[in-house]
Amino acid sequence: MNIPHIVGASVPRKEGREKVTGAARYVDDMALPGMLHGATVRSSVARGKIKTISFGPGVDWNEFVVVTAKDIPGKNCIALILDDQPCLAAGTVNHPEEPILLLAHADRHKLRKAVEAISIEYEPLPPVHSMEESERQSTIIWGSDNILKRYLVEKGDVDSVWKEAAHIVEGEYFTGAQEQLYIENNGVIASFEPEHGVTVWGSLQCPYYVHKALMALCGLPEDMVRVVQMETGGAFGGKEEYPSMIASHAALLAIKSGKPVKIIYDRMEDMVATTKRHPSRTRHRTAISKEGKILGGEIEFTIDGGAYATLSSVVLSRGTIHAGGPYYWPSVRIRTKAMATNTPPHGAFRGFGAPQSLFALERHMDRIAQVVGISPIEVRRLNFLKTGQTTTTEQTIRENIDLDRLLDRALELSGYNVKKKRFAEENKNGPRQKGIGIAAFLHGAGFTGSGERYLNSLVGVEAAADGVVRVLVSSAEFGQGTNTVLCQIAAEALGLPYENIAIAQPDTTVVPNSGPTVASRTAMIVGKLVQSAARGIRDTLAKTGLLGDEYSPEQFRAACREYIAAHGALKSYARYESPGDVYWDDAKYRGEAYAAFAWAVYVAEVTVDLTTYSVTVDDFVALQEIGKVLNPVLAEGQITGGVAQAIGFALYEKVVWQNGRMLNNQMTNYIMPTSVDLPPIRVFFEELGNVHGAHGAKGIGELPMDGPAPAIVNAVEDATGVRFNSIPLLPEDLFEALFDESADQDVSSPVRGSA
């Protein structure tokens, strides 16, 4: 048992060898005998009734497998939450690029020509293309009021605070859509055999989401649907719900043709048709005391959900709960809603609503500081949540978090105070203006409120006769390190070397449902269950007298061999148990929203070039408290990657819309950061621990998406003196605001402060 600690060590990525040698198998690397290729015929209009579908000349249509909504054996929907999204449009279309018809052929080139040869006539219906238009309700496109979901959070008596306020600070903030831009596009292969049902291999995050969707669509029982996750080339939420759609399409073609069917989107189709981050608008009205304390506030947070409800309710929930940030609000009213528009549904993307509402809040905190006449540091110090205080949902902070100390350390690591003074001096001459900005924030780990109880996750661990232990979970690896950290936890629990632990490929016929791989829940929730299940193996062997308290890997192997010879398999399962003291009221949206929060202070240093109007991030300090760091190299990689993606969100990545359709759906004109665009991203951790996670781990994956955008825009304001309240912030936006000196100093919003 005297194995050095494996948890906390940077053991190599479990599937790393395959990845660096090119041997890793992604779905497009796989082919099945007799396989056809599938393609999707999509709507060219935002909203309308389908009048006719014609199959043009020059194509031998007999060679093609054609699937329409009529071919769906079960229910025509992508089963998720409300089941309002059809798998194939029947009668009406509600967004551009909505799938209408499917084709399959063995020859990909013929297939493409065939897609082009199909023409669809529509009777147009008036579309809705903005949240504001949707709110006006002059055209109803969803339900009775266009509102996909709404929440109300109320704490204290906010109506009474305005009269005692020394300052009332208002602001309006916007964030744009963002493409996940995983480098591997969405793709699946489906096969069908009447006696075994449907099998899907795909690039995906949540095998059991796809499983559930296929059961409903195909009208098949649980054991007639099999979903296998292949190596997945990035996901970031973009492969949370969308794979159910593409898997459904491939399955329908496979059922109709009796042959395996592969659908791999090319980049243009992936960008134009699949989900993106929800655009948002946040309005703040905050009552502030003379010295700068928050007395109370009203927050209105609205997101654009697109044409169907899909995951918008959950994204909105996370955005709602994070809207108050890491601050103490004696009273607050948070009113939020997701509006329907005739664009492809927006969906899961790292951060899941929190980057949107936290961008607004952290810009607003700087505004409050200005109005009060104190520094951005001071305003945060005055309002930081402290142990024993409650969040906006009245969750009591029990852990011993010291945000003041975290802030001090971030200031020191970044040289904030020295730089702030130096930049103010240096900016007086020259066309390059430097600035520095901060953001303080938090991110809840795991499903919101009662979510984990509903998920009821199950995890298995299996030992083989050769002493190799296999972790059985549906939690997927897509770069973030699932395989590695779960194997580390199992190794540590069993006192075995890391090399003796394997993890099963997620396959619904092999692994139990450990829940979706989302919400920064894997290390904390699933990790804890892996630890319990692994201990179960050890306990079983101990109880049967085959293993003592101390054992070597050889003794463990011998014990496994003996146990399996006598009893067959050696498996142990662990199911999620809700911590007893968690209270959550779904109706009032009040209580313990998350089992744990990760906390962070980020500092961005920028240069604004007044010749080119470009913003360069020169230095970036990311300091966070994430419980226990299970694997330092992997953890650091999560932060640097998230910060990079968030720099893109802030400064580069703009989705250009025209009539509900993305115009710039190519990597040549939707720009993500390259290796020359990024600053040194300096990552630091604090480890307070967490009673709910394995070894004290909290969630980490989404956290770094939340803070960079406001820190950067705060720095841009520090450099230029102009309040930019909308992202992405591109050179043309800076040009517009800075070129004409007489322009309104307040860009894109009616922020005002009153004393």
Least distance in angstroms from the C-beta of 544 to another protein: 39
Task: Choose between 251 and 709: whose C-beta lies nearer to another protein.
Answer: 709
Least distance in angstroms from the C-beta of 733 to another protein: 24
Let me know the angle formed at the C-alpha of 671 by 668 and 675, rounded to the nearest 5 degrees.
105
Least distance in angstroms from the C-beta of 60 to another protein: 16
Segment (H or E) for 248: helix 242-257
Task: Choose between 270 and 717: whose C-beta lies nearer to another protein.
Answer: 270
Task: Choose between 28 and 71: whose C-beta lies nearer to another protein.
Answer: 28
**Tokens 């901060």 correspond to what residue?**
438
CA distance 93 to 595: 41
Q: Which residues pair with 282 in a beta bridge?
A: 173, 301
Least distance in angstroms from the C-beta of 26 to another protein: 7
Beginning with the edge strand found earlier in the chain, give each strand of the sheet holding 681-686 in spatial order. 432-445, 596-609, 615-625, 681-686
Task: Choose between 507 and 677: whose C-beta lies nearer to another protein.
Answer: 677
Least distance in angstroms from the C-beta of 704 to another protein: 9
Phi, psi of 452 (to 5 degrees): -65, -35
Residues that bind another protein in the complex, under the rule CB under 8 A: 10, 12-13, 15-26, 28-29, 108-109, 112, 180-185, 231-236, 266-267, 478-481, 633-634, 636-637, 640-645, 666-668, 672-676, 678, 680-681
The 3-state DSSP class for residue 161 equals coil
Least distance in angstroms from the C-beta of 12 to another protein: 5
DSSP H helical ranges for 346-469? 354-372, 376-383, 403-414, 416-426, 451-455
Q: State the virtual CA torsion across 365, 347, 668, 356 in degrees, nearest 10.
A: 0
Task: Choose between 265 and 423: whose C-beta lies nearer to another protein.
Answer: 265
CA distance 294 to 168: 10
CA distance 197 to 194: 5
Task: Choose between 666 and 754: whose C-beta lies nearer to another protein.
Answer: 666
Task: Choose between 182 and 301: whose C-beta lies nearer to another protein.
Answer: 182
Least distance in angstroms from the C-beta of 234 to another protein: 4
Task: Choose between 156 and 679: whose C-beta lies nearer to another protein.
Answer: 679
Task: Choose between 480 and 714: whose C-beta lies nearer to another protein.
Answer: 480
In sign, the C-alpha dihedral spanning 188, 191, 192, 193 is negative
The 3-state DSSP class for residue 183 equals coil
Phi, psi of 306 (to 5 degrees): 85, -165
Task: Choose between 76 and 185: whose C-beta lies nearer to another protein.
Answer: 185
Contact 609, 446 (CB under 8 A): no
Least distance in angstroms from the C-beta of 13 to another protein: 7
DSSP H helical ranges for 568-704? 632-651
Segment (H or E) for 487: helix 482-494
Least distance in angstroms from the C-beta of 215 to another protein: 28
Nearest to 749 by CA among 717, 730, 726: 726
Least distance in angstroms from the C-beta of 216 to another protein: 29
Task: Choose between 25 and 575: whose C-beta lies nearer to another protein.
Answer: 25
Task: Choose between 169 and 181: whose C-beta lies nearer to another protein.
Answer: 181
The 3-state DSSP class for residue 237 equals coil
Least distance in angstroms from the C-beta of 634 to another protein: 6
Ramachandran category for residue 34: left, alpha or beta (phi over 0 → left; psi -120 to 50 → alpha): left
Least distance in angstroms from the C-beta of 291 to another protein: 39
Task: Choose between 451 and 481: whose C-beta lies nearer to another protein.
Answer: 481
Least distance in angstroms from the C-beta of 65 to another protein: 19
Give buried/exposed letters for 264-278 (b at 16+ CB in 10 A, else e).
bbeeebbbbbbbbbb
Least distance in angstroms from the C-beta of 166 to another protein: 42
Q: Looking at beta carbons, which pairs linking 423-432 to residues 24 or more positions away fall under 8 Å?
A: 423/718, 423/719, 427/719, 431/609, 431/610, 431/611, 432/607, 432/608, 432/609, 432/610
Contacts of 20 (CB under 8 A, 6+ apart): none
Contacts of 580 (CB under 8 A, 6+ apart): none
Least distance in angstroms from the C-beta of 742 to another protein: 39
CA distance 305 to 337: 9
Let me know the angle formed at the C-alpha of 443 by 440 and 447, rounded to the nearest 5 degrees.
165
Which string of DSSP letters, residue by residue, matches 315-360?
Answer: HHHHHHHHTTTTB--SSEEEEEEEEE-SSSPP---TTTTHHHHHHH
- State both tokens at 23: 């041997």
Omega before residue 728 within 30° of 0, cis = yes
Q: Count of residues for the chain?
A: 755
Task: Choose between 19 and 136: whose C-beta lies nearer to another protein.
Answer: 19
Task: Choose between 181 and 287: whose C-beta lies nearer to another protein.
Answer: 181
Task: Choose between 478 and 599: whose C-beta lies nearer to another protein.
Answer: 478
Least distance in angstroms from the C-beta of 100 to another protein: 21
For the chain, give the longest Cα–Cα distance: 86
Nearest to 280 by CA among 307, 235, 312: 312
The 3-state DSSP class for residue 167 equals strand
Least distance in angstroms from the C-beta of 536 to another protein: 31
Least distance in angstroms from the C-beta of 28 to another protein: 7
Task: Choose between 17 and 290: whose C-beta lies nearer to another protein.
Answer: 17
CA distance 488 to 520: 18
Task: Choose between 22 and 91: whose C-beta lies nearer to another protein.
Answer: 22
